[in-house]
Amino acid sequence: MTTAQRIDLNNITVYVEEGLDAVGERAAEVFCAALDEAPTASFGFATGSTPVCMYQDLIKRYNAGTLDMSGIKAFNLDEYYPIQKTNDQSYEYFMSTELFNHVNVDPANRDIPNGEAADPEAECARYEAAVRATDNYKLQILGIGENGHIGFNEPTDTFPAKTNHVDLTASTIEANARFFDSIDDVPTQALTMGVGTIMQAEKILLIATGPKKSQIIADCLVGGITPHVAGSALQLHRDVTVVLDADAAQELLARL
Ligand code: F6R
């Protein structure tokens, strides 16, 4: 595919694409290149509205017979807590309906923090051990919160190293209320990979679209490294690809 714009920032390659279809196609291309290199590796998935364009492109490739995900182990960044897996707002449900029901990831090879766990701290420890036990954690897909969170690592004073049980901030609850009937229905807690967990991945693929992500993308990629903007830790990762649409790229391009 042709690239609207490519920017190289040390360890970070940024693609700016025209429109959601092109963002989805570029992100899927990055994913598929990693999958070709390591068809039996572990891949970390993300939820939220941002990666949907990429998942749609992956489903197209699967239907065209050019994508085989049968060998991978699939992890996910996070899950609301507490939440039933059958709740249509759970991330378990999201991943099934938006991707996994349409491609050939083995259900036995899917793992996501369990929002039904009786003991959330024990579940975080189990999940962290499962991610760390994988011998080839090839690529982690990320979206970004307007407050800079990756996973649900909300602004704080230290980078969370491991999977942890967090309180969501008011701004995240407000941002996610669009998926629920009312803001009162948004869970106030989550289980999330830590920033340290995410940084274990060999490659990171961050996707952001829309004008609401413009400021925070610039802060993450060329601002100071601080746990108050969890995504700024990506400046310390060795292999990051960022796929943006023109709206999300605006402030970054202005600062370069
Ligand atoms: C999702 C996740 C979050 C989202 C972020 C952006 O698994 O961990 O960090 O990526 O909140 O959400 P959207 O894409 O809905 O703007």
Average pLDDT over every residue of 16-42: 98
Check pocket membership of 47 for ligand 1, CB cut-off 6 A: yes
Inter-axis angle of helices 20-37 and 52-63, to 10 degrees? 60
Confidence check: pLDDT of 128 > 80: yes
Burial 198-233 (b: 16+ CB within 10 A, else e): bbbbbbbbbbbbeeebbbbbbbbbebeeebebbbbb
Q: Which residue is catalytic, options 57, 78, 92, 219?
A: 78
CA 50/CA 231 separation, integer angstroms? 15
Tokens representing 138 are 């090839």
The CA-based diameter of the chain, rounded to the nearest angstrom, is 49
154 given a catalytic annotation: yes
CA of 11 to the centre of ligand 1 (A): 23
pLDDT digits (tens, 9 = 90+) for 86-122: 999 999 999 999 999 999 999 999 999 999 999 999 9
78 given a catalytic annotation: yes
149 given a catalytic annotation: yes
Q: Which atom of ligand 1 is nearest to the CA of 176?
A: 15
Q: Which residue is catalytic, options 149, 153, 165, 251?
A: 149
Check pocket membership of 22 for ligand 1, CB cut-off 6 A: no
What is the per-residue pLDDT for 149?
98
pLDDT digits (tens, 9 = 90+) for 213-242: 999 999 999 999 999 999 999 999 999 999
For ligand 1, atom 15, name the residue with the nearest CA: 48
For ligand 1, atom 11, name the residue with the nearest CA: 145
Average pLDDT over every residue of 139-152: 98
Check pocket membership of 138 for ligand 1, CB cut-off 6 A: no
For ligand 1, atom 4, name the residue with the nearest CA: 143
What is the per-residue pLDDT for 135?
86
Check pocket membership of 50 for ligand 1, CB cut-off 6 A: yes
pLDDT digits (tens, 9 = 90+) for 147-170: 999 999 999 999 999 999 999 999
Split at pLDDT 50, 70, 90, the class of 191 is very high
213: left (phi over 0), alpha (psi -120 to 50) or beta: alpha
3-class SS of residue 163: coil
Per DSSP, 93 falls in state H
Check pocket membership of 27 for ligand 1, CB cut-off 6 A: no
The mean of the pLDDT values for the chain is 97
Split at pLDDT 50, 70, 90, the class of 72 is very high
The pTM of the full predicted model, rounded to 2 decimals, is: 0.97
Residue 130 CB burial class (10 angstroms; 0-12, 13-18, ≥19)? middle
Average pLDDT over every residue of 191-215: 98
Confidence check: pLDDT of 36 > 80: yes
What is the per-residue pLDDT for 113?
98
Confidence check: pLDDT of 63 > 80: yes
Confidence check: pLDDT of 172 > 80: yes
Confidence check: pLDDT of 1 > 90: no
Confidence check: pLDDT of 2 > 80: no
Average pLDDT over every residue of 195-200: 98
Check pocket membership of 115 for ligand 1, CB cut-off 6 A: no
Check pocket membership of 46 for ligand 1, CB cut-off 6 A: yes
At 23, which amino acid appears?
Answer: V
68 given a catalytic annotation: no
The residues, any chain, with a CB within 8 Å of residue 187's CB and separated by 6 or more, are 80, 81, 82, 83, 168
Residue 10 CB burial class (10 angstroms; 0-12, 13-18, ≥19)? exposed
